Amino acid sequence: MGMPFRVMGIVNVTPDSFSDGGLFLDADAALAHARELIGEGADIVDVGGESTRPGAEPVSAVEELRRVLPVVEGIVASGMAGGEPGGTRVRISIDTSKAAVARAAIGAGASIVNDVSALRADPEMVGLVAESGCECCLMHMLGDPRTMQADPRYGDVVDDVKAFLEERLALAVRAGVREERIMLDPGIGFGKTVAHNLALLARLDELTSLGRPVVVGTSRKSFLGRIILDAAADRGRAGQAGEAEPVDTARRLGGTIATNVLALERGASVFRVHDVAPVRAALTVAAATLNPRWTPAMRTPTS
């Protein structure tokens, strides 16, 4: 047996995403970025036109489509995308909670629906996913992006997230989505404190026990910066130089790599990241270390 994984590269076609908002709002810039991520070894490119950062405001389906459709079409036209899980060409994921956006993106060549609402936001979404035969990713989020970081509370965060994902998985299967097409995402940073995020990462094996691929999205998130900042402040109290300013997104790569390697060891198999090349290199070495019989040629799971 190998230790396969897939790396999902993030293409945000938004003015306000927390890490790269506005950088790729122009379709040509977003397409160039997608090509760059594919060149770095992305197995999936995740194209999104609505920011889900804390406090983000919703956008209309028309505006979201205006942003993402030319990018999906451009990736397909370039000949770099297509195929089934396990194939050699990159696959396109549409990061949306709107059925109209997902339908158009699927028509243009997307084959994964990454829905941060876990099919709750749009009553038509589950039927569309079932009928299209696409893969889908169901994510846990407390509340919505505008409110999710306002004092999030859980009984036991891992138990609560697991129960939610189990319920959404069952609902999707009952609605006709094939179980082998479903991925689950605990929603690191979506309505969670630093302690909640760390508990989910530490006990990720409790979520992989649900039997579906687990997606981890820690890339450049603020909790990594807070941990680094707190550690620097502790060093300062010990008489060494501390950090006065928040840790910006570009300096969160080390934390991103650490969390992804730990998640791989605990059974996660899909990693949603901004920095494809360094994360893929880290995961490749980690996988070879954890399972010496693993080889890079075995990297892509079939389900």
Radius of gyration of the chain (CA): 18
pLDDT of residue 96: 97
Each residue's pLDDT tens digit, 190-202: 999 999 999 999 9
Each residue's pLDDT tens digit, 213-254: 999 999 999 999 999 888 877 776 554 444 445 678 888 999
Each residue's pLDDT tens digit, 253-297: 999 999 999 999 999 999 999 999 999 999 999 999 998 776 665
The overall average pLDDT reported for the chain is: 88
Each residue's pLDDT tens digit, 108-131: 999 999 999 999 999 999 999 999
Torsion angle in degrees (nearest 10) through CA of 121, 149, 199, 49? 50
pLDDT of residue 204: 98
Q: Between residues 204 and 146, which one has the greater pLDDT?
A: 204
Q: Alpha-carbon distance 175 to 180, whole Å?
A: 14
pLDDT of residue 146: 65
Rounded percentage of the chain residues whose pLDDT exceeds 70: 84
Catalytically active residues, by annotation: 221, 272
Answer yes or no: are the C-beta atoms of 267 and 225 closer than 8 Å. Answer: no
Q: Alpha-carbon distance 270 to 183, whole Å?
A: 9
Each residue's pLDDT tens digit, 61-96: 999 999 999 999 999 998 888 766 555 689 999 999
pLDDT of residue 244: 45
pLDDT of residue 14: 85
Element (H, E) at 12: strand 6-12
Domains of the chain: 6-298 (3.20.20.20)
Q: Is 137 in a helix, a strand, or coil?
A: strand
Joined together, the tokens standing for residue 299 give 């990297």
